[in-house]
Structure 1
């Protein structure tokens, strides 16, 4: 058994609490000990009250001064509005209980009074902490898509659900903390909340899946309202991002409605994020093109591309012997994201190639098959030569004989 002196020391160092049992005895002890402290040590009691009032006045003044400095006109998207919103949610009762708790720790107050102040300070901290946490989360959400952002309307429609979810989680934690300090066994309550949350999640799995997908779209921002996107073979402009679906106006005019979860499961190409466009084109010339002319064609293509507006030439090469043509591939970049501007550049380059090839005597190839006839000695006979000889013979037959 521990000696009496050691037991007294342990009791003195043990934190003062106010258990939920024997409330009547606790209230009686609080009243008697506090009255005795005031009557027998009135100087210390008055000093403790004065210190508590001074601390309350200082904390209240700091809150008022911070509110004045930060101002109420700042938006939550900058740090003044963010901090000012949290400062304004600091409640007066929390400041008063905090001042009483600090004064109780500074002076030798009766243990029942100290337990009483500690009990209410714990409750005040739980409630004020819940208010702060709620404001911080909601402020962060609003900072992510503030009034000036393009998807503010979509976020406004989701803020109701986000607020409900945040309130449920934050206040559930605060209530569990308060009940735990009251001496209630919260283990069964936490287990029940966990099982109930799982049941609700399984029952509304599809709804929550689309909801969190919508929040992912709003916060991660793979695309926004007004962006042109391409997915699953469809291309259109995003008109609205809802809690369950995203509505897209297709290029052909109809409105496409796509579930948020299904949309994010696909590869989405955001056309608005294009900085510049890379264009790869191929042309073919006939096999009868002279080697010197063929060697000069890549340089000619480079000149034509550089002359086109907003175009940057990359490369041009003779790269393939096809069935009916010698293929040439060239690459250039259009330094503007506009699709119509890119098509104008392609048209200008195509027309320039047609004009320049006509000047050079270069023929574009097209799918053809040419038959060659072999002479008795095995030498190949070009049918075009045979056609030329046949035409001459026909002309000679048609002309009258000379006299």
Structure 2
């Protein structure tokens, strides 16, 4: 190959072209091509990384940045993702592989953590009876995992009593999950009425202050 290259350069010299100029031109051209192809090479390497390490796969529901969507295609240049709004986002592989990726499809259960802020006027005996009843409700439900499962009086805010609820619905089926949490929320609403508890009203607290 070296002999062929030298022969070609000598041939161009005999034709009247400067071999030094040709080499310089080839060097600049090669550099320009390398710079232009840099992003393409990065995206191809990103695609290979996604296929090998597989943080997400085609069909995976994932959270990336501030968006949530389903992976539809991992191409050589970009990953195509369909969002919950049914729009399509294309993210360059080199950028996508460096994002914080949360693979929602790989969860084995779904959290149920209602935000319960009770009125600061709630009596202690009513609060305790509500907490006990709420914990019993979760313990008795067939779709709620036994551990972890807690209902605790977490603390105070200037306008409310904060109840910490941590439990998990033992399913990955989102439709079933929605049915279960609707049932639980209705039951919790009944317990609030039964034990003389009501949710805090922050707007009233701001008015009185």
- The alignment status of 1:296 with 2:163, answered yes or no, reads no
- The 8 Å contact of residues 308 and 345 in structure 1, kept in 2 or not, is answered as no
- The 8 Å contact of residues 49 and 97 in structure 2, kept in 1 or not, is answered as no
| CA displacement at 1:296 relative to structure 2 | 2.2
| CA displacement at 1:202 relative to structure 2 | 4.3
1:379-398 matches, cutoff 5 A: none
- The alignment status of 1:279 with 2:115, answered yes or no, reads no
- The 8 Å contact of residues 231 and 268 in structure 1, kept in 2 or not, is answered as yes
Q: Could you tell me which runs of 5 or more consecutive residues in structure 2 were left unpaired when the two chains were aligned.
A: 2-26
Q: Could you tell me which runs of 5 or more consecutive residues in structure 1 were left unpaired when the two chains were aligned.
A: 1-174, 176-194, 372-403
| CA displacement at 1:212 relative to structure 2 | 0.9
- The alignment status of 1:238 with 2:71, answered yes or no, reads yes
2:181 maps to which of 335, 346, 351 = 346
- Structure with max Cα Rg: 1
**Which of the pair is proportionally richer in strand?**
2
- The 8 Å contact of residues 318 and 326 in structure 1, kept in 2 or not, is answered as yes
- The alignment status of 1:328 with 2:151, answered yes or no, reads no
**Which of the pair is proportionally richer in helix?**
1
Over 3 Å off, 4+ runs? 198-203
- The 8 Å contact of residues 43 and 92 in structure 2, kept in 1 or not, is answered as yes
Q: What is the rounded CA distance, in whole Å, between the counterparts of 2:161 and 2:81 in structure 1? A: 44
Alignment TM-score, normalising by the size of structure 2: 0.74
| CA displacement at 1:284 relative to structure 2 | 2.4
1:1-400 matches, cutoff 5 A: 199=31, 201-312=34-145, 314-367=149-202, 368-369=204-205
Larger CA deviation: 231-240 vs 286-295: 286-295
Q: What is the rounded CA distance, in whole Å, between the counterparts of 2:50 and 2:173 in structure 1? A: 25
Deviations 1:346-376 (A, max 9, x none): 22221101112222222332222486xxxxx
How many equivalent pairs are there? 176
Alignment TM-score, normalising by the size of structure 1: 0.40
Query: Matched residue of 1:311: which SS?
Result: coil
Q: What is the rounded CA distance, in whole Å, between the counterparts of 2:192 and 2:168 in structure 1? A: 22
| CA displacement at 1:201 relative to structure 2 | 4.6
Q: What is the rounded CA distance, in whole Å, between the counterparts of 1:349 and 1:362 in structure 2? A: 17
- The 8 Å contact of residues 64 and 102 in structure 2, kept in 1 or not, is answered as yes
Deviations 1:142-190 (A, max 9, x none): xxxxxxxxxxxxxxxxxxxxxxxxxxxxxxxxx9xxxxxxxxxxxxxxx
Change (3 A) 1:282 1:251: closer
When the two chains are superposed, the root-mean-square deviation of aligned CA atoms in Å is 2.4
Q: What is the rounded CA distance, in whole Å, between the counterparts of 1:261 and 1:339 in structure 2? A: 31
